[in-house]
Structure 1
Amino acid sequence: MDILRPVLTCPRPDLVAVYEAALHNLLDVNTIGGIIRAGGGYPAPWTRDASINAWYAASLLSPDAARDTLLAVTGETLVQQDDQWWDQIIWAVAAWNHVVVTGDEDFLARAYPIAAATMEVLDKERLDGRYGLYRGGAVMQDGISGYPEPPNDPGIESSFVLDYPRAHSIMCLSTNAVYAGAHRALARMAAALGADGRPHLARADATRAAVNRWLWREDAGLYGYFLSEDGRLDPHQEALGLAMAILFGVADERRAALIAANTHREPRGVVNVWPHFDRYGPGRPGRHNAICWPMVMGVWGDAMARSGHANRFHETLDDLIGLFGGDGLSEVYNAITGLPDGGWQQGRQWPSEPDQTWSATTMLGLVHHGLFGIRLTPEGMRFSPMMPAHWRDAALNGLRYRDMTLRITVSGGGTTVRSVRLDGREVDLVPATLTGHHDVRLTLG
């Protein structure tokens, strides 16, 4: 399939420039031989990167490459079994999203057995029966700089989290939110194939209940970072975990509102983990600690949009435009200066790798799912936009969705949709079965 690039028009030239740079990053720089690599410093896809990149943009913009990249990180029967097992089940979330976006039934038939078999292994090996939570590190936190002491141990020199024995038994917010989302994705895949999804739904509900029982901090209006094996809750703020708790339905509306109100932001954006661990600080930020990873910020912004917190969504969008405007799309940025900064870990400052793919894909997701409010279901496309109140017009022209190409025009600002017109007719849904070119016009106000 030829890749048609959507064209964004809006009152902000800086946003248009960043959007075009993100498209270039995904479609030109990091798609090589039909596979989407993790970034300029990472030639392989990696399971979590492949999943996040497909989920946030590639399944919509480059469905063939998204499919092939997702399959590239699997074996015949399981998601690839490497040494970063703790968040590999995020693949199930991306796989179901790919089916929803593309309608690819052949992929569904192949993906469900792989995801279900992988979950069966993880349920047996990683689920802690005492707490009903899954053990292992936090999503994308493969470096020990992302953890306090313990599980950090000053006597160990390695940067890799699983070289620290106590990291194997912690139960992290982001990872357990992903498990809840993955179980729901498996339930939907099963139902689409005519199988019984109820066991997956029951497991999702149990994980949600366990997170809310063991990780919620009512005094702070936030979830804690992780539960130790002895039942102690670490109080640090994990931005990706807080976002995923909202996105995967772990946090109810009340908790989501408290998270939006209470999550700390540094001058250049929401950071991975707050506050600084004792061994780091503002002049020496930890690589996975109080530092700005655009992917984390993008997922956070998505959670703010989907939970209706417009001010925090627009704040994050502005933060990312500010980071990317003078640089391109790097991997990590300093939370004070806004400059590329790989952070400190094990006695040295690491590089911030260039052309990081998930920096691009989550940014694209904020435009598609945040500003324009695109909501995809197996039946088609709906809208829940979050435009700045003072905007009058914005458009995405040439957005390919399944077998159709759309021009989506939004008139007015804010979040209240007065009408959606498809080729001049008022509708509730753009059906997934359409073909050819179509005009979609949203009126807000």
Structure 2
Amino acid sequence: MKKAILTLCVLATFGCEDDPADPKPDLGESDMTSMDQSDDGPAMTDCEPIPSGFDSWEHKGSEARVDVALGSDCERTYTLTSNAPRRDNLPESPRRITEDPNAAHLRTASPMFDALYALALEEVRELSVDQIRDGAFNNGDPVDCGGCFETGAKWNYVWTRDTAYAVDLALGAVEPQRSKNSLAFKTALRRDTGERQIVQDTGTGGSYPISTDRVSWALGARSVLYSLSEAERGEFEDLIWESLTNTIEHDREVVWDPTDGLYRGETSFLDWREQTYPGWTAQDTVQIGMSKSLSTNILHANALRLAAELAIQREEPDLATKYYEWASLLDTAIINTFWKEDEGLFHAYTHNDLAPSSVATYDLLGLSLAILSDDFPGYFSTLILNNFPHYGAGAPVVAPQQQFTPIYHNRGEWPFVSSYWLLAAAKEKHAPVFDRMFNALVRGAAMNLSNMENFEAQTGLPWVDDGEYSGPVVNSQRQLWSVAGYLGMVNRGIFGIQTTELGIEFKPFISKAVADKLFGENRSITLNNYPFRNKTINITLELPDTIDPLIEDTHNGFELGGLFLGNALLGGGILTHEGLEDGSDVLIILQAHNPEEPQTINVIDQENWRAVFKPRPPEIVSVNEDQTSLTLSFNASEELVEDISFTVYRDGVMVASEIEGDATTWVDPAFDPASDQTPCYTVSTTYQDSGNESHPSKPVCWWGSEFERVRSFSAQEFEVTGGTPVTNHGRFHYEGWGSPDHTISVLEFSPNKTGKHLLQVVYGNGAGPINTGITCGVKRIDVIDTTTQEAVGAGYLVMPHLGDWGRWAESNFVAVELNESNTYEIRISGEGRAQNMSILEHFDAYTGGLGGEQPFNDVNIAELKILSL
């Protein structure tokens, strides 16, 4: 069938004339022809006129443009061209996208914006597969997934956090069935008990419990659940309930710390160690496992609240109360630990038990999730949006940046995080951030003809040559969460579509600047064929006829004024499914929004590298006692010491600051040699002109002049069941030890002091590389009073991959209160929840290392340490 094609002028500097015979400007590689009024095609008047709004985008001397052609059913074919540098020169320019008349599509005053929405939906289709593959699974051969989403052009598997965030941003509503299948694929039964849990993917140190953000799954699960019709929810709700509650109970025992009420584990998504954490953790990932992060704790709180909601629906009031209480207490713990009132921001994470203070790093995803969660004081949101440090054309995902570190998360702009940041701005009607993120998302898709994984933050480019620090190190076209991020900006941001249990609650926001681009001279924009519980609706945003003169000059954009289904006014801004007909028209009358609080955006001076980067962390060389004083000796990593100052923390509390940069020692004025307390120190450096503070040094403690506050038992002193005694790898230990029925015991131990003690082992784990795998060692440690035979303390020892069985390292700490008058037995075993991810059936297909064919949780333990605090 012939197509009737309309050639458009695409540059805003050229005016489009009504007469189709008028000459048009050169469109580069376009093959558009003039309008053909044949009998096979529609007359122009039968289709919506194609507007002449913003149709091009310029960035760093490059330009992207769009041409539009009309098909026989009035569907549009967009031809996108870009002369910008693209990663691997892909996709090829021009790129043509034809709308599916039955799928969602945009109609605004901007052909470019409409085209990029169609591009995102096209990439959703490209990412929709029946089989997936990854080199670490099934020897790289395909794995059936039952109709799911792969993660990107270069990431062809289904990953828990990528899928969860993408489904939450948009795909749960746009493609609920495929989203449901993808999320179901990331749950699995335990091989021993049949208990279903959420999968933590391969990762740092052998995955869980170094990384614990598998609970991000709950974000996507909620989105899918409320996008399904009630008749479709039952089986999936059961899956959510089983997977989520089992995971919650497991995590509560293994990674929750009752001392501060937080969950341990790596920052969500920022999981390339040296990209986010200090360099001294790169080969010592147990430090990351002992840390606590803002983003991951917010995800745990969200998971708890979803479980509580489901408990109410399932008539489980006691569980609902428990999970709501846990979530509320977790919110308080997050504020107490991470919120910095003087900075108006949350810090990103803390370090280990010896250095519990938060680190002066900001995580854009965590901050966005905090705003969107509705769980923190309202004024936090405006402060966060006003204060986060932006640079480049968008927003970096972490701030400040790290020196001498390749570009990926560090110095990176990630569209899916930009989308969450835009949604946070839309929720708070914060126009400056909204505008910046809108421009960033449009720029990224238009210039690259695809929704890329990431960009270098300062330039917004998909690759920057910077020698050994060049990057982004990996950058994939059609990255799933980036695709969903673009759709989320439109669906959830501009049109305000919030899917809830009751239906759709509309909370649109569009800034004045963006409204000028999308409305042009029109009064309305429309999102057609939007899917809603097996039906489609057409949603129109209409500008108000008038604006109150009192706010005409001060309003920052438009929000919900009135909601109509057909001609009927809907109260509360909620559209329910009952009585809704397929193809119904929803009209949103907008009204001007006048902000109550000042709105600013913190854009740092990117020409000042000290404003962009943080200093490198110093190193504590020694802690020495001199009769009545304790002296720290440390080295600065910065060459120009006159630009920096030092800050000293004791037990996580700042005790000295603004120490001159050429200093090499500090004397603790509060040291009492008669005290039983063990002080632990970290030191950081700060740039004096920008105020950016480094990561802390590795903690160093004063364990006494003769290390008398550390007691140790070698493996020769253990009572052991299982394993074979050997002396290989330079230490005596029991090889092949780690089956669930194996134990190690120290039968009698009497402490020198009463009080808090830390238990730790010296271990070896060569089961996999430092950066991936599923066989992080996890063992339970129990302390039993030998007189009463009562347990006085317990916890889980975490022993991540070291890359080589010949390497020895120290585990995490397990805290316990001991009495010097008592004698204790200390037992290490595979009891309780002492398992890693290899226990899940999901990894039956894992061929990238140990743990695939059968669970593997073996470790070599050469020494048990008891440290007195």
Q: Same fold (TM over 0.5)?
A: yes
The residue number in structure 1 matching 2:213 is: 87
1:401 equivalenced with 2:517 (yes/no): no
RMSD: 2.1
Residues 383-402 of structure 1 mapped to structure 2, 5 A cutoff: 383-389=506-512, 390=516, 391=519, 392-402=523-533
Q: 2:276 corresponds to which letter in structure 1?
A: Y
Q: CA deviation at 1:348?
A: 6.6
Q: Distance in 2 between matches of 1:240 and 1:4?
A: 34
Q: TM-score, normalised by structure 2?
A: 0.48
Local SS of the residue matching 1:444: strand
Query: Kindly tell me: are residues 216 and 313 of structure 1, through their superposed partners in 2, closer, same or farther at Cα, counting changes over 3 Å?
Result: same
The residue number in structure 1 matching 2:123 is 25
In the alignment, which residue of structure 2 is the partner of 1:334?
456
Report whether the alignment pairs 1:356 with 2:479: yes
Structure 1 moving runs of 4+ over 4 Å:
342-349
**Which deviates further from its counterpart, 30-39 or 434-443?**
434-443
Q: 1:35 corresponds to which residue?
A: 148
Q: Which runs of 5+ in 2 are unaligned?
A: 1-99, 131-146, 190-195, 202-206, 545-556, 592-869
Q: Does 1:324 align with 2:467?
A: no
Q: Deviation digits for residues 118-158 of structure 1, max 9, x if unmatched?
A: 111111111122111111111111212332325534xx3xx
Q: Quick one: which amino acid aligns to residue 80 of structure 1?
A: V
Distance, in Å, in 2 between the alignment partners of 1:438 and 1:402 is: 13
2:400 partner amino acid: P
Indicate which of 403, 416, 420 corresponds to 2:563: 420
Q: Assess if the C-alpha contact under 8 Å between 2:426 and 2:510 holds in 1.
A: no
What is the CA-CA distance between 1:345 and the residue it aligns to?
12
Give the conservation status (yes or no) of the 8 Å contact 2:393–2:436. Answer: no
The equivalent residue for 1:127 is: 256
* TM-score with structure 1 setting the length: 0.92
**2:583 alignment partner, one of 428, 437, 440:** 437
Task: Decide whether the 8 Å contact of 1:41 with 1:353 is kept in 2.
Answer: yes
Which residue in 2 is equivalent to 1:6?
A: 104
> C-alpha deviations, 1:388-443, integer Å up to 9, x for none?
33433110001110032101011117334332110211112321233422111111
Aligned counterparts of 2:156 and 2:537: Cα–Cα separation in 1:
33
Contact (CA 8 Å) 2:563, 2:586: kept in 1 or not?
yes
**Displacement of 1:343:** 9.4
For 2:525, the aligned partner's letter is: A
Aligned length: 431
Alignment correspondent of 2:174: 61
How far apart are 1:106 and its partner, in Å? 2.1
User: Percent same amino acid at aligned positions?
Assistant: 25
Q: Do 1:145 and 1:286's aligned partners in 2 also have CA atoms closer than 8 Å?
A: no
Aligned to 2:113: 15
Is the contact between residue 267 and residue 336 of structure 1 (CA under 8 Å) also seen in structure 2? Answer: yes
Q: Which of 146, 152, 165 lines up with 1:52 in the alignment?
A: 165
Of Structure 1 and Structure 2, the greater helix share is in 1
CA distance in 1, matches of 2:466, 2:214: 25
For the Cα contact (< 8 Å) 2:345–2:384, is it kept in 1? yes
User: Structure 2 vs 1, CA of residues 337 and 23 (structure 1 numbering), >3 Å: closer, same or farther?
Assistant: same
- In 2, are the aligned partners of 1:137 and 1:171 still within 8 Å (CA)? yes
Contact 2:350–2:356 (Cα < 8 Å) also in 1: yes
The aligned residue for residue 412 of structure 2 is 291
- State the partner residue of 1:75: 188
For the 8 Å contact 1:268–1:292, the answer to whether it is kept is: no
Q: State yes or no: 1:232 paired with 2:357.
A: yes
* Alignment pair present for 1:310 and 2:431: yes
Shift of 1:93: 2.3
Q: Any conservation in 1 of the 2:496–2:506 contact (CA below 8 Å)?
A: yes
Q: What does residue 376 of structure 1 align with?
A: 499
Aligned partner of 1:159 in structure 2 is none
For residues 239-264 of structure 1, what are the alpha-carbon distances to aligned partners after superposition, in whole Å with 9 as ceiling and x for unaligned? Answer: 01111111123432111110010011
Q: Secondary structure at the match of 1:415?
A: strand
Match of 1:160 in 2: none
> Partner residue of 1:176?
297
Deviates more, 1:11-20 or 1:328-337: 11-20
Structure 1 contact 405–436 (Cα < 8 Å) conserved: yes
